[in-house]
Amino acid sequence: MTNQYISLYNQLGYHFQDEALLELALSHRSVGGKNNERLEFLGDSILNYVIGEDLYHRFSDAQEGQLSRLRARMVKGATLAELGREFGLSEYMKMGSGELKSGGYRRDSILADAVEAIIGAIHLENHGDMAACKRVILNWYQSRLEKLSVKDTLKDPKTRLQEFLQSRQQPLPQYEVVNVKGQAHQQTFFVECRVESLEEVAYGKGTSRRIAEQVAAGEALILLGVDTREEKQ
């Protein structure tokens, strides 16, 4: 083990015996032929499996849609980039001069890909032993997983209304701002939401058009008899 990676190993909670694998995981495609794209592909699959399995056991009463949204939050690029910054990956990334000049080592997508590639490298170094990857990944994600709640998977009213109508092959709702009151810095928006299958028009108001539309969509859901108190998917 060379001294250059000691700090990184401590951050990762994992020590590579084959440093060539780590160096490959840290090599952006801009360096040429030998880069981390294949390791990234492998790591992405492993990460989705490990997080999915943990969520399955952690939230035994959650439905498939809720679990999918929780997993998506955990494995999305922004979350992976956060991990990359926590590990200090920017100091170790290998990339072409063009990427270096453009600040690629700070780019979310590059850091996220590198985290996935490291997972793939760990998997290969342990000859496909999933237990090793699982231990490392869950250690990285422990605090984030502990903060998760199924309640956070509730969709906003506009999304729920749209999906409700689409599932019944009905036209999408139509929103219209019918009035705006107040000064420019303190306005109140009044919005109508029209649904073809409803005789009544749903109304909403809020301090922005977006908020007013959400309120109107919630009213439309109530008029349609949809339970707005809990997630149904």
Question: How large is the average pLDDT for residues 44-71?
Answer: 93
Kindly report the CATH number assigned to the domain that includes residue 101. Answer: 1.10.1520.10
Give this prediction's pTM.
0.68
Same domain, 23 and 131: yes
Residue 40 is labelled as binding a ligand: yes
Domain assignment of residue 171, yes or no = yes
Domain assignment of residue 59, yes or no = yes
Kindly report the CATH number assigned to the domain that includes residue 169. Answer: 3.30.160.20
Final residue of a domain: which of 120, 151, 182?
Answer: 151
Asked whether 126 and 2 are in contact (CB, 8 A), the reply is no
Domain around 75: 3-151
Region of 202 please: left (phi>0), alpha (psi -120 to 50) or beta.
beta
Identify whether 116 is a catalytic site residue: yes
Q: What is the mean pLDDT of the chain?
A: 90
What is the total count of domains within the chain?
2
pLDDT value at position 194?
96
Q: Is the pLDDT of residue 4 over 90?
A: no
Same domain, 171 and 138: no
Question: How large is the average pLDDT for residues 54-83?
Answer: 91
Same domain, 139 and 166: no
pLDDT in tens, 152-183: 666 788 988 998 999 899 999 999 999 999 88
Same domain, 137 and 203: no
Domain assignment of residue 135, yes or no = yes
pLDDT value at position 231?
43
Domain assignment of residue 127, yes or no = yes
Q: Which two tokens stand for residue 92?
A: 């170790």
- Within 13 Å and on the Cβ side, how many CA atoms surround 130? 9
Instruction: Tell me the pLDDT band of 105, cut-offs 50, 70 and 90.
Output: low
Final residue of a domain: which of 101, 136, 151?
Answer: 151
**Which of the following is catalytic: 19, 23, 37, 44?**
44
As a whole number of angstroms, the distance between CA 92 and CA 184 comes to 49
Same domain, 53 and 88: yes
Closest CA to 30 of 84, 89, 116, 98: 98
pLDDT value at position 183?
82
Same domain, 188 and 140: no
Same domain, 64 and 144: yes
Same domain, 68 and 175: no
Q: Which residues contact 82 (CB under 8 A, 6 or more apart)?
A: none
Q: Which two tokens stand for residue 78?
A: 């922004």
Domain assignment of residue 230, yes or no = no
Same domain, 59 and 17: yes
Domain assignment of residue 40, yes or no = yes
Same domain, 219 and 106: no
Radius of gyration over alpha carbons of the chain, in Å? 24
Calculate ∠ Cα 118-100-87, nearest 5°: 35
| % of the chain surpassing 70 pLDDT | 93
pLDDT value at position 48?
96
- SS3 per-residue string spanning the chain: CCHHHHHHHHHHCCCCCCHHHHHHHCECHHHCCCCCHHHHHHHHHHHHHHHHHHHHHHCCCCCHHHHHHHHHHHHCHHHHHHHHHHHCHHHCCECCHHHHHCCHHHCHHHHHHHHHHHHHHHHHHCCCCHHHHHHHHHHHHHHHHHHCCHHHHCCCHHHHHHHHHHHCCCCCCEEEEEEEECCCCCCEEEEEEECCCCCCCEEEEECCHHHHHHHHHHHHHHHCCCCCCCCCC
pLDDT in tens, 195-229: 999 999 999 999 889 899 999 999 999 999 886 55
Residue 116 is labelled as binding a ligand: yes
pLDDT value at position 46?
97
Q: Is the pLDDT of residue 120 over 90?
A: yes
Same domain, 98 and 119: yes
pLDDT in tens, 194-203: 999 999 999 9
Domain assignment of residue 232, yes or no = no
The number of angstroms, rounded, from the C-alpha of 134 to the middle of its chain's C-alpha atoms is 19
Final residue of a domain: which of 108, 126, 151?
Answer: 151
Asked whether 178 and 194 are in contact (CB, 8 A), the reply is no
Same domain, 133 and 40: yes
Strand partners, 204: 191
Residue 129 is labelled as binding a ligand: no
Query: How far is CA 5 from each of CA 92, 155, 199, rounded to the nearest angstrom?
Result: 8, 43, 67
pLDDT value at position 155?
73
Identify whether 213 is a catalytic site residue: no
**Which of the following is catalytic: 23, 37, 86, 116?**
116
